[in-house]
Amino acid sequence: MGIFSAAEEKVKTKKIKEEGCVVTLQIEVPPAKVAQARQTTLVRLQSQAKLPGFRPGKAPVTLIRRRFADDIQGEVMQSLVPDFLEKALTEQKLSPITQPHVDQVNFNEAGPIKFRATFEVLPEFELGDYKNLEIEIEEIEVGDAQVDKTLEEMRERAATFVPVEGRNIQNGDYAELKLMGTPAGGGDPVQADNILCHVGAEETLPSFTENLLGAAVGETKRFESKYPDDYPDEKLKGKTYNYAVEVRAIKEKKLPELNDEFAKDMSGADKDAVSTLAELRTKIRESLEAAKSDRQASEAREKILDTLVKRHDFPVPEALVEHQMDVRLERVVRSLSAQGVDPRAVNVDWNSMRSRQRDRAVDDVKAEILLDRLATAENIEVSEEELEKEISKIAERSGESVEAKRARLTKQGALDRMKSKLRSDKVLDWLYHSARIQTTAKREQQ
């Protein structure tokens, strides 16, 4: 419970700066409250203090005040600053989305405590026209080019790595390595017994390419690698590693030939299996046609969000943008891992890549803020039944019971995030069905 009551005088608060979503308040704790908290702390310390020559609780107040001056000041600050900051925020009707940063604290025994608090808030803005949006999307064509592209993607997934004999590593080869990396400043080593390194590829660190080019099977290379300060792997971020790398094999990536045998392998042994490449092409075309409406609806929703963002000009909290940039960078790392690429050994300027995500991150944050405001304006909420249905779907996919999944999500604090996501989806669905969407012809993609 705070040290103040609702009946007490208002906190002296002054908004001294507001830039974008950043608010800075100057807050003052009344002298009477400072004196009261100081006296309470002094009395408690006197009753507990054990000083030479005095029985517990019998030391003079003047001695306690002098001996424990720093402790008294610290406890008074700790008891008053958070409470009066909270009251100031309530009186100003402000809801920080970041932890307030307190500085410029002025403690005066005979006067008030003054301090400054800086934090970010969600922006205030007026909603523009968002009903009956006119959206134009290009029709998604399904032709030979799209079928060919799908076949190439299938070939990439079915690719094999074939050993190369009788030569050393060349640009474009995949080197199978056993490596041991020792951090230059001390710490846990990095070790891998069987890792594929795509020599010369953009995602490979230059130090690996430079030292592996020309190496032979069985050869061990020793070199140094410096990782960027913003590298996504905390273990490697900003560190320099000394590597000992043994080349175990040299491999080339081989794509399967496009023939009837490939078609049989891709379709498997299910009831819809095909036996010729022509049949596989037909099956792919049918699948693309079936997914066409969903893809066009998805594109329309993206256009709706893009239109809304362009129609509303308002600042966004830097903390949310930074978080979204991190989310986008994590997606890149997960994508690399899913492709079998070790993010720890890639030639990527992570700082530059993260910076390039900024504009899109700003739009992402704007879109979420807009959807939240629209949900409030249109009284769109997520019912417990809808939330339960979503939990059931997730539980079914993971093979857990609904009760176990709900308990896990609750423990992880994920239910509120899930509910917020469902709410945004409902708003976007409402916008989609109220929009006027025109589909224009598009030439077959190349």
Q: What are the extents of the domains in the chain?
A: 12-120, 293-440
Q: How far apart are CA 226 and CA 417, in angstroms?
A: 37
Topology, domain 293-440: Trigger factor, domain 2 (1.10.3120)
Alpha-carbon distances of 380 from 128, 287, 377, 386, rounded to whole Å: 18, 35, 8, 12
In this structure, whether the domain defined by 12-120 belongs to CATH 3.30.70.360 is answered with no
Q: Which helix (H) or strand (E) holds 314?
A: none
Q: How far apart are CA 132 and CA 80, in angstroms?
A: 52
| Predicted confidence pLDDT, tens digits, the chain (446 residues) | 344 443 345 667 777 767 889 999 898 888 888 888 888 877 777 677 677 767 666 667 677 667 777 777 778 888 888 888 888 888 888 889 889 998 888 887 777 888 889 999 999 889 888 888 888 888 777 888 888 888 998 888 888 888 999 899 999 899 999 988 888 877 778 888 888 888 988 778 888 889 999 999 999 999 998 877 776 666 777 888 899 999 999 999 898 888 888 888 887 666 577 888 888 888 888 888 888 888 888 888 999 999 999 999 999 999 999 998 888 888 877 777 766 666 665 656 677 778 888 889 999 999 999 999 999 999 999 888 988 898 888 888 888 888 888 888 888 888 888 888 999 999 999 999 888 888 887 654 44
Residues 250 and 173 sit within 8 Å (Cβ to Cβ): yes
Q: How far apart are CA 433 and CA 425, in angstroms?
A: 12
Bridge-partner residues for 160, per DSSP?
Answer: 254
Bridge-partner residues for 134, per DSSP?
Answer: 436
Model pLDDT, residue 345: 59
Burial 355-390 (b: 16+ CB within 10 A, else e): eebeeebbbbbbbbbbbebbbeeeeeebeeeebeeb
Q: How far apart are CA 249 and CA 221, in angstroms?
A: 14
CB atoms < 10 A from the CB of 346, how many?
20
Burial 113-133 (b: 16+ CB within 10 A, else e): bebbbbbbbbeeeeeeebeeb
Q: What pTM did the predictor assign?
A: 0.62
Residue with token string 């080197």: 175
- Give the single-character DSSP code of 325: H
